[in-house]
Amino acid sequence: MHCTRLRCLRCDATYPVRFDAYLCPRCGPGDSGSDPGILDVEYDEPAVARAWERRDPALRGRNDVFRYLPLLPLESPEELLPAGGTPLLPAPRLAARLGLGTLYVKDETRNPTRCLKDRATAVAVALAAAAGKSDLYCASPGNAAISLAGFCAHRGLACHVFVPRDASPERLAWLERFGADVKLCEGSYDQAYSEAEQAGRENGWYSRNCAFNPYLVEGKKTAALEIAEQLAGRLPDLVVSPVGDGCTLAALGKGFREAVRIGLADRMPRLLGVQSDAVQPLVKRFAGESPSESGRTRAVSIRVQRPRNAIRLLREIEASRGTMVAVSDEAIEAAREQLSAEAGVVAEFTGAAALAGLAALARREPLAGASAVVVVTGGREEA
Ligand SMILES: *Cc1c(COP(=O)(O)O)cnc(C)c1O
Ligand SMILES: [Zn+2]
């Protein structure tokens, strides 16, 4: 393993790499007015580059997240549902519609539970299994919970999920199928998150709350490493993803930076983060404005009023000279129809937000001839 230490993104303190590391003890979880002390995993970069070059044929032949073992906080692969290895589809009809040179869809709907979340879950379950933990937990409006429930079902681990009471019947049915212990929480995802954190602490369960568990972003970054390999190192001008807590797009940024360092890619793409215009705290914060009241949106997977990985996300967006946009539910619905009718990809509502965001950017600045990857983060259809 090539992790050297953990660094707090808020106060810059460093800590040793330990399996049970969580938030920065100095900064803690923060409150409504301040960011949590999220830890970032640092690596011995020359050692990672060497290990990548010399990785054994068994790893080279894999196409799940463990392909990137030298860049993960894990000693060895575990037998899990296969997360990652998703296709990067050219979408020429959508490219023409937006006036782009090339457009690809990174189709994360092909993951075992139909969502990019499986990449983080794989790392969480691998760490928990290696440490002999029998119980895992998370808070989620749906996808992270379903992902954890599926991976736990496969391994025979106990899965405790905290979901807002207004989670859709379809999502609850998936949790039931996987045999999860479901706690319905009053109020929003943000409240479910607090309840989950408390129960996890009291019971000694292992956390699959991305952001707070510093190791999970490492799983999500494998999507970027795959894109770099799939494009033979020629990264596009833009990479677009929906943003809730900020972990997913920040992880893509980290993955692209690492891809450049180990020689898998030539340059960083600009990151474009997309939120719903009804719940857009990170769009506002990026623009230096104060957050607005939240409204209603069908983009439930990014309906996060208090994003936990804001510092990480904003740094990655700035480092990439990227930006953030907000889109309406009508625009997301239109993008969802275009994704299926013109690219053959069925996205969940939130998953289509990336395409809607790219269309919004194309109206704001000239993108003629540009290249882009739209990450379709999830594809479980909802009524
Ligand atoms: C979780 C999720 C996101 C956003 O990820 P964050 O890490 O919370 O920013 C986007 N799309 C889908 C489908 C998701 O499930
Ligand atoms: Zn700190």
Nearest to 157 by CA among 125, 131, 182, 116: 125
Ligand index nearest the alpha carbon of residue 216: 1
**pLDDT at residue 188 in the model:** 85
Ligand index nearest the alpha carbon of residue 34: 2
**pLDDT at residue 373 in the model:** 98
Q: Which atom of ligand 1 is nearest to the CA of 251?
A: 7
DSSP state of 4: E
b/e burial code for range 236-264 (CB count within 10 A of at least 16 → b):
bbbbbbbbbbbbbbbbbbbbbbbbbbbeb
CA–CA dist 92, 253 (Å, integer)? 25
CA–CA dist 81, 255 (Å, integer)? 22
Give the pair of three-digit tokens for residue 361.
């950017």
Q: CB of 38 within 8 A of CB of 245? A: no
DSSP state of 368: T
Helices (H) and strands (E) in the chain, counts: 14, 13
**pLDDT at residue 341 in the model:** 98
155: CA distance to ligand 2 center in Å?
Answer: 34
Query: pLDDT means per 10 residues in the chain (383 residues)?
Result: 97 96 95 92 96 93 97 96 98 97 98 98 96 96 95 98 93 96 91 94 96 97 98 98 98 98 95 98 97 91 94 98 98 98 97 98 95 97 66
**pLDDT at residue 254 in the model:** 98
Closest Cα to atom 14, ligand 1: which residue?
301
Q: Which atom of ligand 1 is nearest to the CA of 211?
A: 7
Which amino acid is residue 197, in one-letter code? E
Nearest to 192 by CA among 160, 164, 159: 164
Q: Which atom of ligand 1 is nearest to the CA of 245?
A: 8
317: CA distance to ligand 2 center in Å?
Answer: 21
Q: CB of 373 within 8 A of CB of 88? A: yes
Locus of tokens 């989620």: 140
**pLDDT at residue 383 in the model:** 53
**pLDDT at residue 220 in the model:** 98
Nearest to 117 by CA among 160, 72, 151, 161: 151
Cβ < 6 Å from ligand 1: which residues?
A: 115, 117, 143, 210, 242-248, 301-302, 348, 350-351, 377-378
Contacts of 232 (CB under 8 A, 6+ apart): none
Which amino acid is residue 358, in one-letter code? L
E strand spans, the chain: 3-8, 14-15, 39-43, 88-90, 102-107, 135-139, 158-164, 181-185, 206-207, 238-242, 270-276, 323-327, 371-376
Locus of tokens 């949790």: 175
